[in-house]
Amino acid sequence: MMDLNSQNNVQNVTQVATAKDDEIDLLEVLGILLKHKVFLVFCIMVGCCVGFLASNWARPQYTSDALLQIDVKGNKAGKAMGEMGALLDVASPAEAEIELLKSRMVLSYVVNQEHLCFNAYPKDPIKRLTHKEGRMDLEELHIPEIAITDKWLAKTIDDTTYAIITPEETELARGVIGQPLVASYAGDSLTILVKRMRAEPGQVFVLVQTDPLDAMRGLVKKLNVAEKGKQTGIIGVSFTHQYPDRAAAILNSIANVYLRQNVEMRSAEAEKTLEFLEQQLPGVKAKLDSAEKNLADYRHKIGSVDMTGETRAHLEKDAALQRQILELEQQRQETTRLFKEEHPSVQTIVKQQNRLRAELSKLKNSAEKMPLTQQEVLRLQEEVAVQNAQYTSMLNNIQQLRVVRAGEVGTVRVVDYAQIERLPSKPNKKMIFLGCVAGAFLLGALLIYLLQMTKRGVRSSLEIERETGVSVYAKIPESDNSLLSRRKKGKNTLPLVDESPDDPASEAFRSLYTAIDFSIADQKVIMVTGMVPGVGKSFVSKNLTALYASNGKKVLLIDADMRRGVVYSKHREGLGDVLSGKASLDAVVSESLVKNMYTLGAGNSEVAPSELLRGDNFKKLLEDAKTKFDMIVVDTPPLNLVTDSELIYPVVDFALFVLHYGRHSMDQIKESMIKVDRCGDKPHAFVMNHVEHDGRGYGYGYGGHGYGKYGYYSNKKKKK
């Protein structure tokens, strides 16, 4: 039981820890974004500018819509024609009509009727942004074949006059609205007819003669056709254009062309069927005359035949069954126009036909019991009745087809024509603007993330201690004051610990001072170096020296970077001059702004710094300095660039290696420690500089362990 409880407790703790880690990750992301808030604000401002330009650059588009009704059941004339109506009933499902609406058969007429192959596009970016572009509508445009792909322009002169500009940027001719203009060019001629022009003088338009097939493709892209509901037969059609009147005109043209072609198609089919029936009519009439003649001849041959009541009833029932079978056949033909043979509606009609044919077969079998004379008379009368029904039906169909040819309205009608819209349907300026702002923010965040990925160095002091066995004495946080202090390096300014004692970085330096003071006891010489430039070793050296001086010790800060010295000194001479024997230590040491803190600059030397450090001169200098100062801090060049630090390391008492937070890989740190170990066995430790506040928090203290949030032990009293 106890084991089960323990397992549950461990699981609960794990879940809580996982949730906490997730929260920390979110805080880290927020912290990173806040750290780069200036860059994010810049990205958002750029997004606002791009959004404003994009939303205004997009030309307003107007959408007009129309409504069509498809008669999927056939019209009245079709129903009245019987089987001929079934033959002519070309009503199709809405999907087929939608494809017909978008077919080249319809759109080619619209392209020609609305002159969609001829276009004049305004060319003025400023007017486009301010939505003050002009307009030019063309009815005709023929560009010479030799220059059809070149850039032709039309420039407005006044309200009614325009000039044609050739690809060579010369004026070819001038034209007037409503009058065709023909001008010779390169052995050919340019023809243009401007229907409408509304633009300020000087407005330039680009003339484009589009291929008809390309014009139809562009028309289809702007055309939207869809059925309203399912199996309703109502089709909604919409069209989008830059100009609202053109959108309505083009859409109405599409509807009218489609309507006219539907009527013409039905009339053409009616004409063909009428021609066929008129050719077949004499043959049907001849069969009827032959049947009547055969019946009359037989009666004349046998004389008068007394038809019993049973025979007359048999004849009437036979005629009724024949009529019902014919009606069902007409229904079947009409139904198969909409459904396949396997559809239940078609199968129901087929079953009824089979039942009636079975009754007709029984009726004929019963007629065999009659006298032979009556059987023959009955057969001849049935033949006359059938031929007469076919002839009468054909006459009726011919009459109906003549009506169809003369005045049929088709299976399509326009319910609502397109109207001119006053408000644009797009672009949605608000969405474009917000999308650009959001995109800029996400792009900025992505760039920050990629930047952080390039800085995926070691950030954990515990990891450094575990992998190298060397303690991390402190983590110097990044702050506004520390950044300002770093920019002042090389100038005679106060260190950060004296200028801003309550800064979180100053608190971290005091923690570093305490850790080092415990480590070196009575030893005097501290070396401060870094693996690469830019880690802040001089910043650490200056503030560490100032802390020793503030505790009553006489301290000397030596700038041993004789290539790029940054420690301020009143004298031009410095370490290089002392090691070369050109100056004495007492002559080149200068006081600083901090009491008890003295500096020795890098100085000058004609000899390579590594050669000056290779002998005993630097060791003798330190021995001399120990007699005059309580502490000595040596600021050395980067460890991985030159050998100066390796030459200085054996003669110091303690080495402090400055790491840049998040910049160094663990392999780089280990490689540097191997290099140091080859130079001797000296006490040394790490200090992490430039520690970023990323939401995880940071602290300062011995062994890399911190004291919570910075500023907690501030000397400033809280205001009540």
* pLDDT interval class at 482 (50, 70, 90): low
Lowest mean pLDDT among 96-100, 511-515, 596-600, 696-700: 696-700
* pLDDT interval class at 471 (50, 70, 90): very high
From the list 290, 300, 251, 260, the residue with the least C-alpha distance to 383 is 290
Cis peptide before 93 (omega within 30 of 0): no
Longest dimension (CA), the chain: 167
The larger pLDDT score, comparing residue 323 to residue 183, is at 183
Side-by-side strand order, sheet with 188-198 = 135-142, 188-198, 181-185
Lowest mean pLDDT among 3-12, 40-49, 215-224, 414-423: 3-12
pTM beyond 0.85: no
Q: What pLDDT does residue 282 have?
A: 84
Q: Is the pLDDT confidence value at 356 over 80? A: yes
Q: Model confidence over 501-521: pLDDT tens digits?
A: 888 889 999 999 999 988 887
The larger pLDDT score, comparing residue 114 to residue 356, is at 114
Percent of the chain with pLDDT over 90: 37
| Mean pLDDT of all residues in 354-375 | 72
Measured CA distances, 312 to 81, 319, 361, 377, 683 (Å): 31, 11, 17, 11, 136
Q: Is the pLDDT confidence value at 700 over 60? A: no
Q: What is the DSSP letter of 686?
A: E
Task: Give the Cα separation of 212 and 51 in Å (integer).
Answer: 36
Task: Give the Cα separation of 500 and 495 in Å (integer).
Answer: 8
The larger pLDDT score, comparing residue 39 to residue 297, is at 39
Percent of the chain with pLDDT over 70: 81
Q: Determine the number of helices (DSSP H) and then strands (DSSP E) in the chain.
A: 24, 20
Q: What pLDDT does residue 180 have?
A: 94
Expressed in angstroms, the distance from the first to the final Cα of the chain is 55
Q: What pLDDT does residue 10 have?
A: 35
Q: What pLDDT does residue 542 have?
A: 92
Lowest mean pLDDT among 97-101, 237-241, 632-636, 653-657: 97-101
From the list 345, 265, 266, 276, the residue with the least C-alpha distance to 77 is 266
The larger pLDDT score, comparing residue 2 to residue 151, is at 151
Q: Which two tokens stand for residue 373?
A: 């004379």
| Mean pLDDT of all residues in 178-191 | 92
Q: Are the C-beta atoms of 505 and 476 separated by less than 8 Å?
A: yes
Give phi and psi for 47, each to the nearest 5: -60, -40
* pLDDT interval class at 405 (50, 70, 90): low
Q: Are the C-beta atoms of 361 and 261 separated by less than 8 Å?
A: no
Burial 319-337, CB ≥16 within 10 A → b, else e: eebbebbbebebbbbbbeb
Q: What pLDDT does residue 491 have?
A: 54
Q: Which two tokens stand for residue 90?
A: 């070309």
| Mean pLDDT of all residues in 575-590 | 88
Task: Give the Cα separation of 169 and 702 in Å (integer).
Answer: 79
Alpha-helical (H) ranges within 58-93 are 76-80, 83-88
Q: Are the C-beta atoms of 71 and 412 separated by less than 8 Å?
A: yes
State the residue for tokens 């010295």. 565
Q: Are the C-beta atoms of 492 and 482 separated by less than 8 Å?
A: no
Q: What pLDDT does residue 553 have?
A: 92
The larger pLDDT score, comparing residue 177 to residue 455, is at 177
Q: Model confidence over 635-686: pLDDT tens digits?
A: 999 988 888 889 999 999 999 999 998 888 888 899 989 888 888 888 999 9
* pLDDT interval class at 82 (50, 70, 90): very low
Q: Is the pLDDT confidence value at 265 over 80? A: no
Q: What pLDDT does residue 121 have?
A: 94
Q: What pLDDT does residue 382 have?
A: 73
